[in-house]
Amino acid sequence: MDQRTVILVLLVLGLLCVPVGARWRLPAPVVATLFGAALGLVPGASLDPPPELILPVLLPPLLYAAVQQTSWRRFARGWRPILLLAVALVFVTTAAVAAVAARIDPVLPLGAAVVLGAITAPPDPAAVSAVAGRLGLPRRTITLLEGEGLFNDVTALTIYQVAVAGVATGTLSVWGAAAEFGYTALAGAVVGLLTGLLFGWLFDRLPTAELRAGLSLLIPYTAYLTADSVHASGVLAVLAAGFWLGGTRADPDDVAGRLSGRNFWDVIEQLVTGFTFGLIGLEFIQALDDLQSGLWAYTRFALLICLTLVVVRFAWMFGVRGLTRRLSARDPADVPVGWGETLIVAWAGMRGWSPSPPRWRCRATSQGVPRSCSSPRWSPWPPCWCPA
């Protein structure tokens, strides 16, 4: 099976994972990963894309599609707790993973340990978002998780780039890393705003909604590649462009434009998401084949790193809970309330997995309110969020 056939099969499976996931009550990304793993078991099925092309090709449309579903006003209201998760927690998690990895393998260079920490630090909220609506989570919780998922990649990728440069040069400076982080963030935001202004001007000169939807596909790639060419954050550039266009060009009377644009990006998002997670499953099978001799050692290493990720996130969420509420004293409605909601946000740091909806669904009365609910709160048994 040649690589073009594998790409085609991954794209088809990426679309099929939606109805299959709905039938199995699993998030579509999880099903796509299982499909990719099954494809990896087929003799001759392999895919070796150039590593330098994976992020520029797959990441920009996923980020831009996520921005289409996010409100800038909601993010601006809850930016303090979001940044505590998307920036501070990513730094803490990276440091913790690097320390544990260096402890497990003392010969591992510090730069390589930091690279591993940066790779594993940002959680993937895709599966959580897929079931959040069915769980009946509060709007503030969903906003917090979506905001974290958008901006934690900015922090992690910057740390990753600095660490890789440190591995290549043999030096890793804390102050140099801080200066580079500031530059990449600021320059990325400027590139994104300029990209938004340019495409906003182009949108005004296109006569049909279909042409504007097609042009929107170029926005994330233009922002990402332009920022990358000046060594800025391509992720932040895509987010800035998306938020700018979403906040300045929303026309409530342009029904056709909103429908065609939303449908267009729904298809793009599903294709790219399905292909990405299918590729992860395929690469996982290939990695197992390459690690047959030392499989147990790598499995033990991976389990310890996973345990570190879980412990650090739970400790962070409950440790800074009071600080989060003090920082959001003017608008406390935008931060998690109670230990139950904090527990949800902590558990939502999973890397691409989430609880099965049936186990988290409350028994409802004819009015749709769980029987055990007397007020808006978290009910530990049966586990559910009791709506107002």
3-state secondary structure of 322: helix
**Residue 376: what pLDDT?**
39
Instruction: Collect all residues with Cβ–Cβ distance below 8 Å to 301 and sequence separation of at least 6.
Output: 101, 104, 105
Closest C-alpha to 201, from 184, 178, 219:
219
Q: How far apart are CA 357 and CA 362, in angstroms?
A: 10
Query: Integer distance in angstroms from the first to the last C-alpha of the chain?
Result: 54
Instruction: Report the amino acid identity of residue 25.
Output: R
| pLDDT at res. 24 | 87
Q: Are the C-beta atoms of 188 and 227 separated by less than 8 Å? A: yes
Cα torsion angle, 67, 71, 76, 78, sign:
negative
Closest CA to 171 of 104, 109, 93: 109
- The per-residue DSSP string of 24-41 comes to HT--HHHHHHHHHHHHHT
User: CA–CA separation, 162 vs 99, rounded Å?
Assistant: 17
Residues of the chain with pLDDT under 70: 124-137, 171-172, 249-258, 322-338, 349-388
The tens digit of pLDDT for each residue in 1-46 reads 788 899 999 999 989 998 998 888 887 888 999 999 999 999 888 8
Residue 146 tokens, joined:
């979506």
Q: What angle do CA 157, 158, 164 make, to 5 degrees?
A: 85
Cα radius of gyration (the chain) = 22
User: How far, in whole angstroms, is CA 374 from its chain's centroid?
Assistant: 34
**pLDDT on residue 208:** 83
SS3 state at 351: strand
pTM for the predicted model, two decimal places: 0.78
pLDDT score at 337: 58
Phi, psi for 157 (deg, rounded to 5):
-70, -35
The span from the CA of 111 to the CA of 288, in Å, is 25
SS3 content of the chain, % helix, strand, coil (to 5): 75, 5, 25
Q: What is the pLDDT of residue 286?
A: 85
3-state secondary structure 149-184: HHHHHHHHHHHHHHHHHHHHHCCCCHHHHHHHHHHH
**CA 305 – CA 284 distance, rounded (Å):** 17
* Six token digits for residue 170: 């043999």
Q: What pLDDT score does 204 carry?
A: 85
Tokens 């040649």 belong to which residue? Answer: 2
pLDDT of residue 207: 84
Q: Phi/psi class of residue 41: alpha, beta or left (left: φ > 0; alpha: ψ in -120 to 50)?
A: alpha
- What pLDDT sits at residue 362? 41
Q: Please say whether the beta carbons of 80 and 324 come within 8 A.
A: yes
Is there a contact between 150 and 67 (Cβ–Cβ < 8 Å)? yes
